[in-house]
Structure 1
């Protein structure tokens, strides 16, 4: 799906092939769910070549998540935008990496950190996770201690204004970055993206989600955070 993935395991005993299974799963997800591959299940469905009753259970699950968040944001989060076709990547990334983490726990592992392009799911710990500054590439805006759970960030960096408000079709304004801590990466990643699509209103929306803690950087450097956000070290934004 176009993001680097790293895995660290601190368990004393690691079953043979566990890491290979994780990366094989992520490669499978890329082949099946990428909107940039003409023969993927997502692309075929988006073009109308694959009827809804022939979709895999995995894609049905992903599309159901997408629809729930579209409704919850009043259409700000939408995987069907003019000129973009069907693009569920905002959900697929966190969902697939969370499933990969479940492969690790299913293999009996309890101390690991799985990092997918800065979105992280951990077990055991605590693990120290840095959140990149939205404007300064080699700087962190905060660092958190996370024991069991996940953290994901949506921001303007790297791809610019790549997140659009589905209600207007225009790039989102009002936020520079928004980081969400949640029990799973499926939730953390989707809430972060959906909240970012809401603009400044997304901070309060994300904070109201059960089990979510939020750290947001607004234009001009103002920081908003929820009381339970597990900050270890704070840096001026």
Structure 2
């Protein structure tokens, strides 16, 4: 069954994702696993003939990122390395420049009223996205309701990944996957030349058969799998909330999917009303805590 999506102003291309009959796949035929707390990359397949395949892990103060890049041989190893360098630089720059826990970041300076929201275009874009997601989730995603002031942490990791992905595309890399924890964004094709085959595992029931997706464009965002209860705050009360075990959302853009997942985790089942049958974003998991 194919999922059809409409274009949104957050997506630079409509997602192409197909549900797959899990019985048709052996584990060796999968490329990526999104697990209860992290991701796993299969090592079963070599790059298709005439292709360059690169895997690289980046560690920042807030997250670990894995990037998988594929390019035709004519593109050259040097050009692939330069594209990878640009994406790594973007991830590190977002961490340094926007991290709410860094006292000298733009977000921290904004909290202290040292700069205005429109002082820097990327900061203004980040604030606009947070405001749009507050409206889209009936206030359940609210970066201004976090203790200490404005905190975009609920979507900052996804925003960083999407900015790094944009750097890859600008450098000419159009086949990639960028993963962080149980989140990912993909574009194009995997090393074997076909769509990315992604197994999304249930957040707590590890023996349950995973949801298997074939993806050429799209993202999966998850909230609630860190193992830390109370890390998401109910913006209406200011108190920690844990109505769900975890929430996983599929859509075109990882920053938006992350925000929806965070809001759904906070709101519980009431948040399912945000997702119409023809919407760009859809919940994959939204399970009650027992």
TM-score by length of 2: 0.68
**Corresponding residue number in structure 2 for 1:197:** 266
Q: Could you say if the C-alpha distance between residues 116 and 70 of structure 1 is closer, same or farther in structure 2, counting changes exceeding 3 Å?
A: same
Q: Could you say if the C-alpha distance between residues 210 and 42 of structure 1 is closer, same or farther in structure 2, counting changes exceeding 3 Å?
A: same
**Corresponding residue number in structure 1 for 2:65:** 5
After superposition, the C-alpha distances for 1:51-89 in whole angstroms (9 at most, x for unaligned) are 335x21011111111112222333221112353322111
**Contact 1:130 1:140 (8 Å CA) reproduced:** no
Cα deviation for residue 48 of structure 1 reads 1.5
Please provide the CA RMSD for this pair.
Answer: 2.4
Describe the SS at the equivalent of 2:141. coil
Q: Any unmatched runs of 5+ in structure 2?
A: 1-60, 190-194
Higher relative contact order (CA 8 A, sep 6+): 2
Question: Are residues 1:114 and 2:178 paired?
Answer: yes
Q: Which moved more, 1:147-156 or 1:30-39?
A: 147-156
**Contact 1:113 1:120 (8 Å CA) reproduced:** yes
Cα deviation for residue 157 of structure 1 reads 3.5
Q: Which moved more, 1:206-215 or 1:32-41?
A: 206-215
**Corresponding residue number in structure 1 for 2:88:** 23
Q: Which moved more, 1:136-145 or 1:166-175?
A: 136-145
**Corresponding residue number in structure 2 for 1:81:** 145
Describe the SS at the equivalent of 1:63. helix
The partner residue of 1:123 within 162, 187, 194 is 187
**Corresponding residue number in structure 2 for 1:188:** 257
Distance in structure 1 (CA, Å) of the matches to 2:149 and 2:206: 31
Cα deviation for residue 113 of structure 1 reads 0.8
**Contact 2:136 2:274 (8 Å CA) reproduced:** no
Larger gyration radius, structure 1 or structure 2 = 2
Q: Could you say if the C-alpha distance between residues 83 and 220 of structure 1 is closer, same or farther in structure 2, counting changes exceeding 3 Å?
A: closer
Distance in structure 1 (CA, Å) of the matches to 2:136 and 2:101: 27
Q: Which runs of 4+ in 1 moved over 4 A?
A: 136-141
**Contact 1:172 1:199 (8 Å CA) reproduced:** no
Describe the SS at the equivalent of 1:92. helix
Describe the SS at the equivalent of 1:81. coil
The partner residue of 2:98 within 5, 20, 33 is 33
Distance in structure 2 (CA, Å) of the matches to 1:66 and 1:57: 14
**Contact 1:161 1:172 (8 Å CA) reproduced:** yes
The partner residue of 1:42 within 93, 107, 123 is 107
**Contact 1:195 1:206 (8 Å CA) reproduced:** no
Distance in structure 2 (CA, Å) of the matches to 1:48 and 1:62: 17
Distance in structure 2 (CA, Å) of the matches to 1:91 and 1:124: 23
**Contact 1:175 1:216 (8 Å CA) reproduced:** no
Distance in structure 2 (CA, Å) of the matches to 1:113 and 1:133: 21
Aligned residues between the structures: 220
TM-score by length of 1: 0.82
Q: Which moved more, 1:57-66 or 1:175-184?
A: 175-184
Cα deviation for residue 162 of structure 1 reads 1.0
**Contact 2:83 2:173 (8 Å CA) reproduced:** no
**Contact 1:207 1:214 (8 Å CA) reproduced:** no
The partner residue of 1:179 within 248, 251, 275 is 248
